[in-house]
Structure 1
């Protein structure tokens, strides 16, 4: 294979569904890259246009597309994708226990899918084989060979994909339209098959799958919180419109990974109240009839008690109300008002 002068081949290659994958070196930047040489044909020219959309996508959890170039392969000029080289292995089935490690991995996958969906792309083939974890533990989604642009050409006239991971709506014998919810379904199936040997509900093991009985995941996901179990069950909803977005999934998983790691400050005049795992309650008492208490439950900050007319960002406060990460608490005292600022730190999940 003859590549542009900037690159040199490293010798190894692997055949794939879309063509061949070659290890190369970017001599300008002195880094390893991967060349994916596409097969000739109209279908692959169309896929190439969709791959170009990935040039706009930047996420540490999605394989990066660096360039689209021409190479000469077997005397024929062909298009090739220049992709990020990832030193790692694809995810292995039945290799994780329920716990923080799996939760952190699922969060990384959800981050990658959120970025993909925000770029207007449907991956359509999410599964462990298409997710690689590098030497630093960072998970990256790859292989966009079946991807589609959301809302433009997202339809099919036959079942295409990996059967066990295909959402129910993809199994119709008639022409069907689909959206990013198919990736949400595949994400949940991926979560289940990563678990060490546990019996999966028979409903999702059928071809095509049938509606899941509520509560079917409690046994195989035992050890996760009820909120996470319900979240994954929701991702497997028969009704694609009932599945949560990947952005919502990412937010819930992140919240659990950061359990007891948040800190917040309430400033009343010159008095500072700090809230965290070691000091979970702050009481703001103005007088015997006007007061508010804020409690940290490990994941969010909520109003735990309330007396008198109090607003949060100009919305009447109520017991159980979650405080935004940055807000102003307004305490009404007759014709005057007292303002309390509330700010939450922004801890990050790593990697």
Structure 2
């Protein structure tokens, strides 16, 4: 079967939450694609919502929309969207241990959700079954059939996957919601990837935040700062949940632990700070400064004389920015040096 004079069906089909999918070959570009159309009886709005959302998004961690076509199935014509084919595995509950691989996966999920929210979209159905890892290890978020624009989003019915639904979605009146419901679902997803047996409190209707002890036991070996921010995702009060950008930045920081390198050239001498050389002392006669690297940040540990970081007085305990100017002295007797940090990228 040839669809829209371009997509050749490979006779492989499947079913998503509300849509039927066909694996096809794009004969123009010689690549596999996924063609998705709605199951009979499903609101046409679902496909339109997915189309609108994906058309606005460009993210390494979100499935791409390629085309919009009509498909003839058993003599009936259906609107359909053509999506990127992701050759990989769907995430599974209990499929991970609390280690670096796990941190990398949830960091990639946070990157995708950050991009989704930056585009003004609420996904509304974040869960392992809607996330895949491709053959190169890149995480992709799928299935935007329940997505909404972040402006004046509301619903009159309880819809979604129960255990991943935030407490505020369980009301019996018209419910207004925002991107924090995705943050809640992200927190549950982080738990689900570690265990198929969620804490019983999350199965209540509406759900309750588990005890910190019950929660933390599942994150043994994960830095407390990370388990703490994931725990806050499950807050009953949506205002207490972090943003996905905050989560993304925190996870990236931990994944890059001990991988940074800072360089300062003072009086012709090159000073390097990294995991092998964690402390440098800079002395410019008119002032001195000691900086230490703790694996995450470069911190001022002592100051003497007039020393400034980007024109602000240096103080003990201050974090030195990634790239900045250090000034020793004031008035006409000043010495300027740059503090340069290489910024490794979290991969993939």
Match of 1:321 in 2: 318
Q: Is the 8 A contact 1:66 1:83 kept in 2?
A: yes
Where structure 2 has 5 or more consecutive residues not aligned to the other structure, the ranges are none
Distance across 2 between alignment mates of 1:147 and 1:293 = 51
Residue 239 of structure 2 corresponds to which residue in structure 1? 241
Match of 2:335 in 1: 338
SS of 2:280's equivalent in the other structure is strand
Output aligned runs, 1:249-288, within 5 Å. 249-287=247-285
Structure-to-structure mapping, 1:22-171, within 5 angstroms? 22-38=22-38, 43-45=43-45, 47-152=47-152, 154-171=153-170
Change (3 A) 1:45 1:164: closer
Query: How far apart, in 2, do the equivalents of 1:248 and 1:308 lie?
Result: 36
Partners of 2:278 and 2:334 lie apart in 1 by 26
Alpha-carbon distance in structure 1 between the residues aligned to 2:208 and 2:7: 49
CA drift of 1:78 comes to 2.5
Please give the alpha-carbon distance, in whole angstroms, between the structure 2 residues aligned to 1:133 and 1:282: 42
Contact 1:50 1:149 (C-alpha < 8 Å) held by counterparts = no
> Does the CA-based 8 Å contact 1:2-1:72 persist in structure 2?
no
> Does the Cα contact within 8 Å between 2:264 and 2:337 map onto a contact in 1?
yes
- Between 303-312 and 112-121, report the one with greater CA deviation: 303-312
Match of 1:312 in 2: 309
Counterpart-to-counterpart distance in 2, 1:60 and 1:226: 28
CA contact (8 A) 1:40 1:78 kept: no
Residues 284 and 335, structure 2, Cα contact 8 Å, conserved in 1? no
In structure 2, how many angstroms separate the alpha carbons of the residues matched to 1:129 and 1:247?
23
- Following superposition, the deviation at residue 335 of structure 1 comes to 4.2
Paired position in structure 1 for 2:172: 173
2:224 corresponds to which residue?
A: 226
Q: CA 1:71–1:208 in structure 2 vs 1: closer, same or farther (change >3 Å)?
A: same
Query: 1:183 maps to what in 2?
Result: 182
Matched-pair contact (CA < 8 Å) for 2:50–2:146: no
Deviation track 1:193-220 (CA, whole Å, cap 9, x = no partner) reads 11146x7544323221124444542212
Q: Displacement, 1:137? A: 2.1
Equivalent pair of 1:18/1:44 in contact (CA under 8 Å)? no
Does the 8 A contact of 2:37 with 2:47 survive in 1?
A: no
Q: What displacement does 1:191 show?
A: 0.8
CA contact (8 A) 2:23 2:35 kept: yes
- With normalisation by structure 1, the TM-score equals 0.92
CA RMSD of aligned residues (A): 2.1
| Deviations 1:198-243 (CA, angstroms, capped at 9, x unpaired) | x754432322112444454221211111111111111111111111
1:37: how far off? 1.3
* 1:2–1:71 CA contact under 8 A, matched in 2: no
Distance across 2 between alignment mates of 1:128 and 1:253? 19
Q: Where in structure 1 are there 5+ consecutive unaligned residues?
A: none
Give 1:7's aligned residue: 7
1:330 Cα deviation after fit: 2.0
Contact 1:269 1:340 in 2 (8 A): no
CA contact (8 A) 2:184 2:233 kept: yes
